[in-house]
Homo-oligomer: A and B are copies of this chain.
């Protein structure tokens, strides 16, 4: 690293110049008239891979936009990293809300503004430059590396699942690294080591066999909207716990170390509530807000509808009412099992006055890369050296489907090494990457590859 770091320092201006080139290509995957730009951008990424010393570089067709792949596999006995990122970006409208044009990267203050600067070209470029520095100065890498950069992340990675399934051998590795997320806050380097899963259900409550006049029939039958409300109301108890039978049975409890670590993060319930515009927060008793959102399973109504929802008054006693209800899951719950528990519970509590239907719409598993795993340990060490500050642990309440795909298909855990910031405007006008995070990211990325082998011991060795 004593050779690598000065190189990074010396090439800052060039890095920025090249990044601006990368960002200048309007690679909007969702807009047909940018198909040419998509190919141009894939080409740029492939050229860049070759420049930094990657081998077997290829642009791989999918049903949609192509993937770019390259590798360097000359460090036998050391772990193999599968780095995943994406070169496609979100649309840019409304254009008039951008301070500077979205595809003319512009530095203002300590940030570089452009579409894709944080999500995800800028973060992909961070790894390119860390690898370049290593290759140019050392002549080799401390790990084996496979780079997989896709062009359809912003349109749901529609072809990725099949591609990964069909290229298991090509993508074989020891762990996945993704830099497509953010740090906890500016100046607070952090490592996200767990994501929640999901069981997404739809329920249908049927009362009478047709919409009734609420005057002529009101008081005779159980209104399905009321029945649905009663059912939903019963899904949480007074302490904010989910009442679905067996819901918490499989939950991996938070460790003391995790809870201690979360408490170190700068967080204020008061500020959080104010920012969301609520007078008072709500949730499961006995857990802090971050614990509830990151590491506890929850149940939310994502939607509800039934009866008359237009303007004014219509005196209907509706025949049906519906709700979308999803549960966020944590390790070691499984989405199929929780869906089953929910369905069983919902049917059980339904009164005889109505009929209920329950169906699962969607599911995904929670993910965890334990904080004592070599990948996370290496990331922690790298962040500390890259940013000069001990990183904190965090989890994330949402899901990242590709993380689950890599786990399911390739059996790999993912290290999320995010260099964005919470306010980076990832899908909005004035997207930016903080320059300290950009250069700190390059250093961290280099440190990560440098540190990984020493944390990778015994049974963790590459198969």
Contacts and interface: CB of A to CB of B under 8 A. Distances in A.
A351 B240 CA distance: 13
Contacts of A355: 279
A272 B216 CA distance: 13
Contacts of A200: 313, 315
A138 B157 CA distance: 89
Given A208-B276, A318-B303, A284 B215 contact: no
Contacts of A219: 283-284, 289, 292-293, 296, 298, 328, 397
Interface stretch (A2-10, A158-166, A225-233): A225-233
Please state the number of chain copies in the assembly. Answer: 2
B317 A313 contact: no
A239 interface: no
A321 interface: yes
A345 to B, nearest CB: 16
Given A196-B215, A318-B303, A353-B278, A233 B236 contact: no
A232 B216 CA distance: 21
Contacts of A217: 276, 293, 397
A396 B219 CA distance: 12
A217 B39 CA distance: 37
A282 B216 contact: no
A317 B304 contact: no
A347 interface: no
A306 interface: yes
Interface string A300-315: 1111111111001111
A353 B355 CA distance: 32
Contacts of A322: 309
A215 B272 CA distance: 16
A299 B292 CA distance: 36
A399 interface: yes
A324 B308 CA distance: 8
A221 B282 contact: yes
Interface string A205-216: 001111011111
12 contacts: A208-B276, A209-B277, A215-B328, A216-B293, A219-B284, A220-B289, A230-B233, A278-B353, A279-B355, A300-B317, A301-B318, A302-B316
Given A219-B298, A302-B307, A304-B309, 20 more contacts: A209-B277, A214-B300, A217-B276, A218-B293, A220-B293, A221-B283, A222-B282, A225-B303, A226-B236, A229-B304, A230-B232, A279-B353, A302-B315, A302-B317, A302-B318, A303-B307, A304-B304, A304-B305, A305-B305, A313-B361
